[in-house]
Chain A
C-alpha cells in the first residue's frame, strides 16, 4: 500500500514546533521515549518497545563448518525484517532501500565492532563452529527503527544461551538443554545506536525522532557507541552538512544516552535472570500488564469431555454413509480421460446478445480443409434462427473450429458459397466481410 503523503500543513506545523523547541509528544530535545524490554520463555527471544516502535529479536544457533578464510571463528548472521504489519508501506516486494540501509548499519554496528567474541564460538578449528543467527522483526513502525533494532539485537544476544559442547579427540558431544545448562555467549561490550535528526539544514537537532519527525527531517546522524564511550559506527545520511562541533556535541549526547540505555538493559537482564532462578513465571505472558484494559488473561481451564464419546457415536450413527468412492474414469482417446462429470456451464444463453464476447475463439484450432464443420460456440441452447453457419472455403481465410460444448444440437454445414453469417462470432463476421469486400 502506498504511504499516506504528509500534508503541507502538517509539515509546516511540525517544523514550526521544532523551531520553538517543542515536540508533539511533549518530550525535550534530548529525551528518549520510554524503553520497555520483555523476554520470552526461550533464551534469546525478546521484544523491545521504544515508545510505540516495537521490534522482536530472536537468536538461534547451529553447528556448521567455518568459512575457509576464517577457520577458527564462528559465524554471525544478522537479519532485520520489516514486517508488513509495521507500516502500510512495507510490502514484501517494495522495501529494498530502507531495508538495505538498516541491515547494513546494523551489521556494521554489531559485526565490525567485534562485540561478540567469535573465537569463543569455535568448537573444532576448521571443522565445526557455531553459527549465531539474529533475526529481528519490526512489528510496529513509529520512528527510529535503527535504535530499537540495535537494542533488541544486543539484548537478545546477551540473553541467549547456546547448548554446551565438549570435544574428546575427534568426537563432538552436543548436550541437550536438559543434560547440561546452556552457556551464554561471550560479549565484550554493548554497542547501541543513537539517532539524531536534523532540521532546517542542521540548525535544529532532535534525539530519537518519531515517525512524523522522521518524515520532515533533512538528515539523520547515527552514532553507535558503547558505555565505555567508544564509537563503533557513525553514519550521516540525508546530505546535510554538519560542522565539526555539531558532530562532537552529538557524540557527547550519545555517550550520556548510551550509559542510560545500557543500565536499563542490564537491569532488565538481571531481572529476568532472577525470576528464572527463583522459579517464578517468566515469558511474554507475564509481561502483558494486567491493569491494561486492552489486555486480558484467563487461567488454565479444565474442559469437560466426559460425554464426548457418546456424542461422537450418536453423530456417526446418524450420519449418512460416506459417498461412493471415485467414479470410474472414461477414456475418450489415448491420452484423454475423464473422471466424474463436469458441472454444467453457468454461462447461460449467449446467442441472444449481438455483441457477445467471442470467448471461444481464443482457444481454437486452425484447420485447413475443404469440408468444414462449425458448431455452436457456447454451451447455450439452440440458435435463434436456423440459418446454417458458413465459412468461406477460401484458403486465405483462417478456418476457425470452435470448441464443442455439452450442447447436443450441432449444426453441420458443408462448405458452400452461401452468404450467411454466424451471429455470435464477430471475428468471423468481420473476416468474412473483409474477404467479401476483397473478392
Chain B
C-alpha cells in the first residue's frame, strides 16, 4: 500500500521589499491548501545549497513528527517545488511540508514550523531575513520547532556565533513560532469551520 503526500512549497517575497525594520518581525505570510488535484495533499506556503542536505534536514524533521507506525509498509513522498527564493528558504520549505502533511491527513504527533534567524555583523538578531540580509549576515541559523512545547526538532546553522547568541536566537525563534502556529491554526480553522 502506498500513500503519497505531495506538496508545492513556495517562497515568495515580501510585497514591499524595501521596508524591513531592524529587529524582529515576521514577513507577510500566505498559504493555500489542497491546490493540486492529483496528490493526496498539497499546500503552497509563501514567506516574506546544497540540495541534498536540505532534503535530508526536512526529511529528518518530518520523520520525527510523523507517526510512521500507524502506516507500516507505506511510502510517504513529500515533493517540494521552489517557486521563488527570497530568503529563509529552508524555513519556508518546512512550513510548506507541515501544511501539506496536514492537508493529506497524515497522522503526526505535533505540527512543526521553521524559523530562520540571522546575526548581522553588529550582532543584532534578525528574524526571517530577506535574501539580501542573509547574504550580509555573519551567521544564519534555521530551527524547526514543534507545536506542543516549542521544543527544538532540527537546527542547522551557517557561520560564526557564540553559545549565548545561539540560545538567544533559539529563544527568539520560539517566540516567532507562536505566531506561525497561530497562522496555521487560523488558516486551518477557516478551512474546516462551518461558519
Residues of A within 8 A of B (CB): 1, 40-42, 45, 47, 52, 54, 56, 83-88, 137, 139-142, 281-286, 288, 292-305, 307-309, 311-313, 315-316
Q: Given A84-B6, A294-B32, A303-B26, do A286 and B171 touch, yes or no (CB 8 Å)?
A: no
Say yes or no: B83 contacts A40, CB within 8 Å: yes
B53 interface contact, C-beta 8 A: no
- In the bound assembly, the distance between CA atoms of A64 and B16 in angstroms comes to 34
* Residues of chain A within 8 A of B48, CB atoms compared: 300
| Among candidates A52, A84, A142, A299, residue contacting B28 with C-beta atoms closer than 8 Å | A299
- In the bound assembly, the distance between CA atoms of A309 and B125 in angstroms comes to 11
Q: Given A83-B81, A315-B167, do A295 and B30 touch, yes or no (CB 8 Å)?
A: yes
Q: Given A1-B4, A293-B190, do A308 and B168 touch, yes or no (CB 8 Å)?
A: yes
* Residues of chain A within 8 A of B167, CB atoms compared: 311-313, 315-316
Contact with A along B100-124 (1 / 0, CB 8 A): 0000000000000000000000000
Q: Which of B40-67 contact A (CB under 8 A)?
A: 42, 44, 46, 48
Say yes or no: B79 contacts A316, CB within 8 Å: no
Say yes or no: B46 contacts A284, CB within 8 Å: yes
Say yes or no: B13 contacts A294, CB within 8 Å: no
Say yes or no: B81 contacts A41, CB within 8 Å: no
Say yes or no: B25 contacts A302, CB within 8 Å: yes
B76 to chain A, nearest CB (A): 12
Q: Which of B1-37 contact A (CB under 8 A)?
A: 2, 4, 6-8, 10, 12-17, 23-37
Q: How many A-B residue pairs have CB under 8 A?
A: 159
B189 to chain A, nearest CB (A): 9
Shortest Cβ distance from A45 into B: residue: B84
Q: Which of B51-97 contact A (CB under 8 A)?
A: 75, 77, 79, 81, 83-84, 86
| Among candidates B14, B25, B83, residue contacting A45 with C-beta atoms closer than 8 Å | B83
- In the bound assembly, the distance between CA atoms of A358 and B191 in angstroms comes to 57
* Residues of chain A within 8 A of B42, CB atoms compared: 85, 140
Say yes or no: A298 contacts B30, CB within 8 Å: yes
Query: What are 7 A-to-B residue pairs whose CB atoms are below 8 Å?
Result: A1-B2, A141-B38, A283-B12, A285-B12, A294-B191, A303-B24, A303-B172
B79 to chain A, nearest CB (A): 4
* Residues of chain B within 8 A of A299, CB atoms compared: 28
B165 to chain A, nearest CB (A): 8
A53 to chain B, nearest CB (A): 9
- In the bound assembly, the distance between CA atoms of A296 and B171 in angstroms comes to 27
| Among candidates A140, A294, A300, A307, residue contacting B27 with C-beta atoms closer than 8 Å | A300
Shortest Cβ distance from A294 into B: residue: B33
Chain B interface bracket (under 10, 10 to 19, 20 to 34, 35 or more) = 35 or more
Residues of B within 8 A of A (CB): 2, 4, 6-8, 10, 12-17, 23-39, 42, 44, 46, 48, 75, 77, 79, 81, 83-84, 86, 125, 127, 163-164, 167-168, 170-172, 175-176, 179, 183, 186-187, 190-191
| Among candidates B35, B38, B127, B187, residue contacting A296 with C-beta atoms closer than 8 Å | B187
- In the bound assembly, the distance between CA atoms of A419 and B12 in angstroms comes to 77
Say yes or no: B26 contacts A308, CB within 8 Å: no
- In the bound assembly, the distance between CA atoms of A16 and B83 in angstroms comes to 41
Known: A141-B38, A297-B31, A305-B172. 7 other contacts (CB 8 A): A40-B84, A84-B79, A284-B84, A293-B191, A298-B30, A300-B27, A308-B168
B154 to chain A, nearest CB (A): 18
* Residues of chain A within 8 A of B176, CB atoms compared: 303
Shortest Cβ distance from A87 into B: residue: B38
* Residues of chain B within 8 A of A83, CB atoms compared: 79, 81
* Residues of chain A within 8 A of B24, CB atoms compared: 302-305
| Among candidates B23, B27, B34, residue contacting A305 with C-beta atoms closer than 8 Å | B23
B73 to chain A, nearest CB (A): 14
Shortest Cβ distance from A292 into B: residue: B32
* Residues of chain B within 8 A of A85, CB atoms compared: 6-8, 36, 38-39, 42, 79, 81
Say yes or no: B38 contacts A86, CB within 8 Å: yes
The interface centre, meaning the residue of A283, A309, A315 with most chain B CB atoms within 10 A of its CB, is A283
- Of all A-B residue pairs in the complex, the 7 with the closest CB atoms, nearest first, are A296-B187, A85-B6, A312-B167, A85-B79, A140-B36, A312-B168, A297-B30
Say yes or no: B32 contacts A288, CB within 8 Å: yes
* Residues of chain B within 8 A of A303, CB atoms compared: 24-26, 127, 172, 175-176, 179
Say yes or no: A137 contacts B81, CB within 8 Å: yes
Q: Given A41-B84, A303-B26, do A88 and B171 touch, yes or no (CB 8 Å)?
A: no
- In the bound assembly, the distance between CA atoms of A288 and B167 in angstroms comes to 36
Say yes or no: B183 contacts A298, CB within 8 Å: yes
* Residues of chain A within 8 A of B79, CB atoms compared: 83-85
| Among candidates B8, B29, B125, B170, residue contacting A139 with C-beta atoms closer than 8 Å | B8
Shortest Cβ distance from B85 into A: residue: A42
| Among candidates A41, A301, A311, residue contacting B179 with C-beta atoms closer than 8 Å | A301
Q: Given A47-B83, A301-B26, do A285 and B37 touch, yes or no (CB 8 Å)?
A: no
Q: Given A85-B39, A288-B30, A300-B26, do A41 and B164 touch, yes or no (CB 8 Å)?
A: no
* Residues of chain B within 8 A of A288, CB atoms compared: 30, 32, 44, 46
- In the bound assembly, the distance between CA atoms of A300 and B36 in angstroms comes to 27
